Structure 1
Amino acid sequence: MTDATPAALRSAIIGTGGIAHAHAQAIADLAPRIGLAAVVDIDGDRARAFAERFDVPAVYADVDALLAQGTADLVHICTPPQTHVPLAIAALRAGMPALIEKPTALSLAEMDELVAVSRETGVPALTVYQHRFGAGAQRLMRLVREGLLGRPLVATCETLWHRGPEYFDLPWRGRWHVEGGGPTMGHGIHQFDLLLAVLGPWARLTAFAARQQLPTDTEDVSMALVEFDNGALATVVNSLVSPRETSRLRVDFAHATVEVEHLYGYTDADWTFTPAPGHEHLAERWASDPHEPVSSHRAQLAAIVDALQAGAAPGVDVDDGRRTLEFAAATYASAFRGTPVRAGEIAGDDPFLRSMHGGAVPWAPVKPPMEDPR
């Protein structure tokens, strides 16, 4: 006698802009285990065109109408960052798990609201950090858990991208009160989230941030020097002014160097494994088929579907998401205050708890508001 096949999950996407297409394609790739049942967008024409492209049976112009129907097992939030937490909280209170595009929240205080509601309702709130779920990252984290690579010693984490002024023509890009920050929040956060997933808790950091040339309120470059609880030291660079674009993560362990270089997603072919002298046997543990699909929303969504159908906790949950967001907040706090920041230090009435800029942006002619207008 075999177990019955789990019922297919129903997804709904809120916001049908560019990133929603990645979610819809991931859902389509995982059929029939999950299907796209509904989409929501205030732009009716765009929503209908999206629904037609992905064969979605229901289109809503209003989030409340979707939630009242109770037709989703997972709600994908693909709207501008300012709306992420209010929409996620509404989904959780309707009993629907939320999968939220990065950044999860615009501030640690807002993130704490989401954490509280998730715990109160018992409904998962998840963040899209798909680089954790590619085959190479999963293999690396497994070897770290097994202790085979030795102690981590040195790491380099770089998101060196390029965006021209026209990229910021959209009114929500490059604005503290809508996007939360610059490349630290919206671009490099994927790469340093993977760094944190590999190395674990960080202890303290010292950072710099600058607006070098782009027409933004936020930074276009940030850099941090980080010490981890396990003693490892790392540099983290986030840039939108780098013409030769690359995303790179390298970790030197006592027994091997493991590195990946790609742009927006990696395959196994993008990873390099270099064993230390005397540890050549580890290369066999690393070796695998180099034709794995690119790291993408599909891999994380597949893991979420597995967990939801098994009644297990899916990732990346609110606690993990908060740790990554705290790293971003600490980067800004250290850069704008000119002092090191320790993990857990941003608390109480600290202005960097309520906004990433902390009211202390050195290039701002007028201090930005501390709280987002809603």
Structure 2
Amino acid sequence: MKPFRAAIVGTGNIARRHAESLRRIAEETGEVALVAAADTDPDRLAAFTAEFGIEAGYADAEALFAGTEADLVHICTPPGAHVPVALAALEAGSHVVVEKPATLTLAEFDRLIEAEKQTGRYVATVSQHRFGSGALRIRELLRSGIAGRPLLALCNTTWFRDQAYFDVEWRGRWDTEGGGPTMGHGIHQIDLMLSILGEWTSVSALARQQARVMETEDLSLAHVEFAGGAVASVVNSILSPREESYLRFDFEHATVELTHLYGYTDADWRVTPAPGHEEEVTAAWAAGPSQVRSEHLAQFREVVRALRDGTAPPVSTSDARPTLQLIAGIYASAFTRSAVRPGDLGPESPFYRFMQGAGPVW
């Protein structure tokens, strides 16, 4: 079969991970070929196309869609540009892989869902932490019942970004990033947590401008309740000199912990069985998948496989929307000082169209 023709829009730092992953898949299976790229910076575009042997380079997405027929378009622009590029790609007949946050608001996300239906093409959101072998193991522990019911979770993204980071024009703004660390940084761990614990039912939160000068929050804390009965504490910070991404899941029969920063391996997980369940839990964990890093490559392999099968590639819009909805809920709760449920975030809510709602007033 012919390889999928892939293109990348935006050739900054994150685009390199996309290109490297696509090149690896091309070497492994020949199922994909990176044929085009676009960027408004001509020097950056020239360096990128030369490094990855890309034949066609374009000054913008519009020119790329006019000049190249791509089966798959990877969107690696700053977040505020995701939606118009994605809509144009779908209209051009391409499937889309978009960095997260895929959109800045729930309203924009629902526009993508509607465009999928109209064009018959798919949108996948980059959520690479779902695909490492550790995440596969913990979901299997749940599915098999060996872990027992989920009871408590901790989901901490405590990173550090100095003021100079937010002095870049498009950072720390509601209209270009959709939020602060809750949206742009903690989303990675929040997404992994939801992929394990499932449907959330209520959130109570606070958000603050604690130290950085910018429009958005630099810190948020949330208490989340889940349909299965579990509760979680979620912390998002870019004020923490000792950086860490930490998730902890306390099940009836085991505690499972993950400590990493921007990506994990099997060595970053720790499992502690409850008394009386040592042998069963340890054996099940050891028997699970192994040696798969939580990186773009793992997800993109599954994207290509799904497209070959004619199915929605992971992470589909239906899978990704609850993550964005919970982030909207954190902001809504913080700025209204009340608990928020998913049903409170429909089109009638100001937080459906703007993550900051009608405010905030700091």
TM-score tier, shorter chain, comes to over 0.9
Once residues 240 and 152 of structure 2 are traced to their aligned partners in structure 1, the CA distance between those partners, rounded to angstroms, is 24
1:37 and 1:71 in contact (8 A); partners too: no
Tell me which amino acid in the other structure corresponds to 1:321. A
Tell me which amino acid in the other structure corresponds to 2:297. R
Residue number in structure 1 paired with 2:309:
310
The structure that is helix-richer by fraction is 2
1:69 to 1:144, Cα distance in 2 relative to 1, 3 A = farther
2:136 and 2:289 in contact (8 A); partners too: no
Once residues 193 and 122 of structure 2 are traced to their aligned partners in structure 1, the CA distance between those partners, rounded to angstroms, is 23
Paired residue total: 358
SS in 2 for 1:223: strand
Once residues 289 and 119 of structure 1 are traced to their aligned partners in structure 2, the CA distance between those partners, rounded to angstroms, is 36
Residue number in structure 2 paired with 1:161:
159
Give RMSD over aligned pairs.
Answer: 1.4
Equivalent in 6, 19, 24 of residue 19 of structure 2:
24
Q: Which digits, 9 at most, give the CA deviation of each residue in 1:208-234, with x for residues without a partner? A: 100111121100111100110001010
Tell me which amino acid in the other structure corresponds to 2:330. T
Query: Shift of residue 16 of structure 1?
Result: 0.6
2:73 and 2:96 in contact (8 A); partners too: yes
SS in 2 for 1:137: helix
Tell me which amino acid in the other structure corresponds to 1:252. D
Give the 5 Å matches for 1:144-155: 144-155=142-153
Give the 5 Å matches for 1:90-101: 90-101=88-99
SS in 1 for 2:49: helix
Once residues 253 and 118 of structure 2 are traced to their aligned partners in structure 1, the CA distance between those partners, rounded to angstroms, is 44
2:345 and 2:352 in contact (8 A); partners too: yes
The yes-or-no answer on 1:15 pairing with 2:10 is: yes
Once residues 109 and 233 of structure 2 are traced to their aligned partners in structure 1, the CA distance between those partners, rounded to angstroms, is 25
Residue number in structure 2 paired with 1:224:
222
2:166 and 2:214 in contact (8 A); partners too: yes
Residue number in structure 2 paired with 1:324:
323
Residue number in structure 2 paired with 1:77:
75
Once residues 335 and 303 of structure 1 are traced to their aligned partners in structure 2, the CA distance between those partners, rounded to angstroms, is 36
Q: Which moved more, 1:17-26 or 1:138-147?
A: 138-147
Query: Shift of residue 133 of structure 1?
Result: 0.6
Q: Which moved more, 1:284-293 or 1:137-146?
A: 284-293
Tell me which amino acid in the other structure corresponds to 1:90. A
The yes-or-no answer on 1:127 pairing with 2:125 is: yes
1:70 and 1:94 in contact (8 A); partners too: no
Query: Shift of residue 26 of structure 1?
Result: 0.9
Q: Which digits, 9 at most, give the CA deviation of each residue in 1:269-313, with x for residues without a partner? A: 000111112212221111169972531111111110111112222
The yes-or-no answer on 1:360 pairing with 2:342 is: no
Query: Shift of residue 359 of structure 1?
Result: 2.1
Equivalent in 212, 216, 227 of residue 210 of structure 2:
212
What 5-or-longer segments of structure 2 have no aligned partner? none
Give the 5 Å matches for 1:33-52: 33-52=31-50
TM-score, structure 1 normalization: 0.93
1:268 and 1:290 in contact (8 A); partners too: no
SS in 2 for 1:21: helix
